[in-house]
């Protein structure tokens, strides 16, 4: 699954277990809003998610102050050093924290990316991932539909191994478009992942196969 372009966007252990069972989902992304839906403290919820999936888990610290963000990030990373990626919003103070984490060998993802200039800073800070909000960008920015393509061009221009993970992806069409524009992967809710394979003509063909088989 490490090469899969699909991640689950959820903090639900049930959803994570289902995604793991599907066999083609690379891991799980979370955020404070998703974590807030569950009673367990975020770091405990992270531990449960790591048990539910064999892939990467993206964790965004709940703390708001620099040193506390860093401490929480280290605690999260230490739960599974090969599988935890730390998400940090694209702001100067948090990118400063991210640069320190990256120097310690902790993989960092810049999230809530809305502009190519933010990608330049993330690359300079040696982040591993960029996470643009696809649907929000399309709704809120005049040129939002070109955001992923602009990020791809910028990443290619500055070099390095930073990857693009499209988030806020709401439909199968957005999944395909985001990947075609140059994202390395997308993250979306379980319902969207399960709907990717659905097509009425496929269902019709299968029904026809079954009908013909029953006549033999």
CA dihedral sign, ordered 9, 14, 17, 22: negative
Per residue in 25-38, is it b (16+ CB within 10 Å) or e — as a string?
A: bbbbbbbeebbeee
Q: How far apart are CA 197 and CA 39, in angstroms?
A: 33
**Does residue 171 lie within any of the structural domains?**
yes
- Looking at residue 33, its pLDDT comes to 97
Q: How far apart are CA 69 and CA 83, in angstroms?
A: 19
**Does residue 46 lie within any of the structural domains?**
yes
Q: How far apart are CA 162 and CA 160, in angstroms?
A: 6
Q: What is the CATH number of the domain that holds 168?
A: 3.20.20.70
For residue 141, give its domain range.
6-215
By C-alpha distance, which of 73, 71, 105 is closest to 89?
73
- Looking at residue 209, its pLDDT comes to 78
**Does residue 1 lie within any of the structural domains?**
no
**Does residue 105 lie within any of the structural domains?**
yes
Determine contact, residues 88/95, Cβ cutoff 8 Å.
yes
Q: Exposed (0-12), middle (13-18) or buried (19+): which is 98, by Cβ within 10 Å?
A: buried
How many Å from the N-terminal Cα to the C-terminal Cα in the chain? 39
pTM greater than 0.85 (yes/no): yes
The string of DSSP codes covering 87-129 is EEESSHHHHHHHHHHHHTT--EEEEEE-SHHHHHHHHHTT-SE
**Total domain count for the chain?**
1
Reduce the DSSP state of residue 75 to 3 states and report it. helix
- Looking at residue 204, its pLDDT comes to 78
**Does residue 92 lie within any of the structural domains?**
yes
Beta bridge partners of 9: 29
**Does residue 188 lie within any of the structural domains?**
yes
**Does residue 83 lie within any of the structural domains?**
yes
Please give the chain's pLDDT, 216 residues, in tens.
558 999 999 999 999 999 999 999 999 999 999 999 999 999 999 999 999 999 999 999 999 898 999 999 999 999 999 999 999 999 999 999 999 999 999 999 999 999 999 999 999 999 999 999 999 999 998 888 999 999 999 999 999 899 999 999 999 999 999 999 999 999 999 999 999 998 888 887 887 777 777 765
Of all helices (H) and strands (E), which one includes residue 131?
A: strand 129-132
- Looking at residue 215, its pLDDT comes to 63
Determine contact, residues 108/128, Cβ cutoff 8 Å.
yes
**Does residue 88 lie within any of the structural domains?**
yes
Beta bridge partners of 186: 6, 166
């Amino acid at each position: 699954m490490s090469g899969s372009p699909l991640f689950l966007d959820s903090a639900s252990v049930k959803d994570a277990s289902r995604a793991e069972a599907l066999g083609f989902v690379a891991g799980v992304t979370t955020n404070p809003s998703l974590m807030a839906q569950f009673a367990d403290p975020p770091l405990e919820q992270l531990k449960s998610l790591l048990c539910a999936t064999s892939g990467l888990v993206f964790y965004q610290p709940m703390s708001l102050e620099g040193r506390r963000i860093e401490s929480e990030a280290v605690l999260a990373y230490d739960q599974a050093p090969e599988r935890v990626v730390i998400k940090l919003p694209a702001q100067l103070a948090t990118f400063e924290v991210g640069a320190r984490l990256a120097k310690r060998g902790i993989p960092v993802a810049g999230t809530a990316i809305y502009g190519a200039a933010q990608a330049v800073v993330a690359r300079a800070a040696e982040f591993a991932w960029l996470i643009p909000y696809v649907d929000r960008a399309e709704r809120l920015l005049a040129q939002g539909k070109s955001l992923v393509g602009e990020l791809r061009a910028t990443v290619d221009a500055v070099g390095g191994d930073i990857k693009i993970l499209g988030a806020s992806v709401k439909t199968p069409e957005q999944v395909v478009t985001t990947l075609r524009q140059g994202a390395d992967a997308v993250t979306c809710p379980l319902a969207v992942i399960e709907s990717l394979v659905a097509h009425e003509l496929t269902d019709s063909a299968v029904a026809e196969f079954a009908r013909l088989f029953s006549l033999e």
